[in-house]
Amino acid sequence: MTPTLKRTIAYFLPYWPLILLSALCSLVVGAMDGAFAYLVEPVLKKIFAGKDTSIFMLVPIGVIALFAIRGICRYFYDASIKLAGQKAIQDIRNDLYHSTIRQDMSFFHRNATGDLMSCMTNDITTMQEGMSQVVTGLFRDLISFIALLGVIFYRDWQLAVITFIVIPLTAYPAQLIGKKIKNAARRSLDVMGGIGVILQESYSGIKVIKAFGLENEAIKRFHQQNGEYLHQLKRYIKYSSLATPISEMITSLGIAAVVYVGGSQVLSGRMSASEFFSFVTAMIMLYTPVKKLQSSYNIVQRSAGAAERIFTLLDEQPTIADSNSATPMNRSHGSVEFRDVSFGYGGEPVLQNIFISVTSNQMVALVGPSGGGKTTLIALLMRLYDVNQGQIMLDGRDLRDITLESLNQQFALVDQETTLFNDTIANNIRYGKPGASQEEVEAAAAAAYAHDFIIQLPESYETNIGDRGIRLSGGQRQRICIARALLKNAPILILDEATSALDTESEQMVQKALDNLMANRTTFVIAHRLSTVLHADKILVLENGGIVESGSHDDLIKNRGLYKRLHSLQFSDRGSVEIANEP
């Protein structure tokens, strides 16, 4: 038994009562197959040789009763094992989501969103189909095989040996084909993950596709990936379709040998016709569970291909985790210090030798050309990544010595992407504080200048805003995000160009909401429009991964360095030239 199969079966163990019920019922069903094959000979002998008409009259009633009991038992074993399989699959899906959602940001850089979605849906569905079919038939077919094997050995051990000897011959080709099925299934699921990536990118970026007239290019890309999926699926179909014909060709040798030897014994008088008919019935019935077991093996291999992908994701360990010495932090005072911090993605340096000291309630602006490291610096502060060198201190404590759960409570984020969920307005605001009362939600909305437009909506706070808040304007979405941050009431605020995509009127309204949000908090602002940070307590100018200037707006203007040049570009008579947003 492979480690993957052992691990899959382990998910069934908590539901052993359902499995036991299924096993008992399948025992009855399997035993009835053996009983039916066994009773053929004496019943036929009494009816036709003994002319016993009373038994002949009871046979139809017996057949009905036998199949009624068999049907009831079959229902219970089928329903109970399928329910156990569904519960096990539910546990796997829960564990997979729990594992992936707690991964650090580097995990999501390595794994495309569409591929993860494909694993959560297609891979688990494939695994579910395999588990349901295999486990459903495992007890029934195995017990039927044992019962029928007992009957044929009881009837004639010599003919039974001839029957049985061909069964092991089917094992090698079945194993060989099964491995190919497993590999083909895994490759096809890999390609299906690529299809998921294309779908996710296409639908989320549909505006760009439409704007640039890229529909044909998107269709071409999808067709190529879909064609590759068909190519891989053909390999699976080829191998899975080979299994049954090969098995039947091998077993036909045993049937032919039994017919010849057994028929010779009947003709010579060493075996009665009814005994031979009983044996042949049992033999034919025996090959049915054998073929089903071989088919189940192929399904197991296909399911194993999906299971390996799933367990690979489950086994990934977050690189950002609590250390053994980490302890919780109460509400921070908001003082932050970067001590000789350096960081890079892989082998590419992004930040080098960063020294920053921020006291409580200060507003710090991060400005500079695209690629300077502004977003990365904030990601390190929130411990989305760990520094390669140096320390980041919060109230004098290294971030790595603070539990992640309590560290997350110290930050509130208002991003330019306005991440909202397909839910009601109230629940989107409540993400800042799960379990918050309606009064708290409305108070936060009022402080964010969002209450007035919310109550004018058809269902007020219970209005569903659609995917990513598509039913709201840009300014409305941003104010919902600000309300969410207000409700969280974290001591440190992160603003990633929160007004860059807004028109003048919306920007003024959002800026008022931001003023409320920034009060009595340490605030870090990633700024691309310098007009939004003129009153910052400290402006840090980043270029090529280092801080090249630091000071107030007036000080930096006097220095006539990079900040002065950027300021002149944005406020020159030629118009406002925006610094490109950092990716």
CA distances (Å), 166 to each of 162, 251, 290, 294, 563, in order?
A: 7, 6, 11, 14, 84
Q: Are 541 and 556 in contact (CB under 8 A)?
A: yes
pLDDT tens sequence across 209-239: 666 676 777 788 778 877 887 887 777 777 7
pLDDT at 55: 62
Q: Tell me the Cα Rg of the chain.
A: 35
**Which pTM does this prediction carry?**
0.67
Percentage of the chain exceeding pLDDT 70 = 79
Nearest to 536 by CA among 522, 513, 552, 520: 552
Least confident residue range of 129-133, 500-504, 553-557: 500-504
d(CA 317, CA 384): 15
Between 457 and 569, residue with greater pLDDT: 457
Distances from the Cα of 128 to the Cαs of 8, 23, 100, 140, in angstroms?
A: 11, 20, 19, 19
Average pLDDT value for residue range 243-259: 73
∠ at Cα 349 (345, 354), nearest 5°?
110
Q: What pLDDT score was predicted for residue 525?
A: 86
Mean pLDDT of 139-153: 72
In terms of Cα–Cα distance, which of 512, 522, 477, 498 is closest to 382? 522
Cβ pair 270, 91 in contact under 8 A: no
The CATH class of 15-182+241-315 is mainly alpha
Q: Which class in CATH covers the domain with range 329-409+524-583?
A: alpha beta
* Residue 581: per-residue pLDDT: 39
Q: How confident is the model at residue 1 (pLDDT cuts 50, 70, 90)?
A: low
Q: Residue 367 — very low, low, confident or very high, per pLDDT cuts 50/70/90?
A: confident
User: What does the domain layout of the chain look like in residue ranges?
Assistant: 15-182+241-315, 329-409+524-583
* Residue bearing the bigger pLDDT, 4 or 204: 4
pLDDT value at position 370? 77
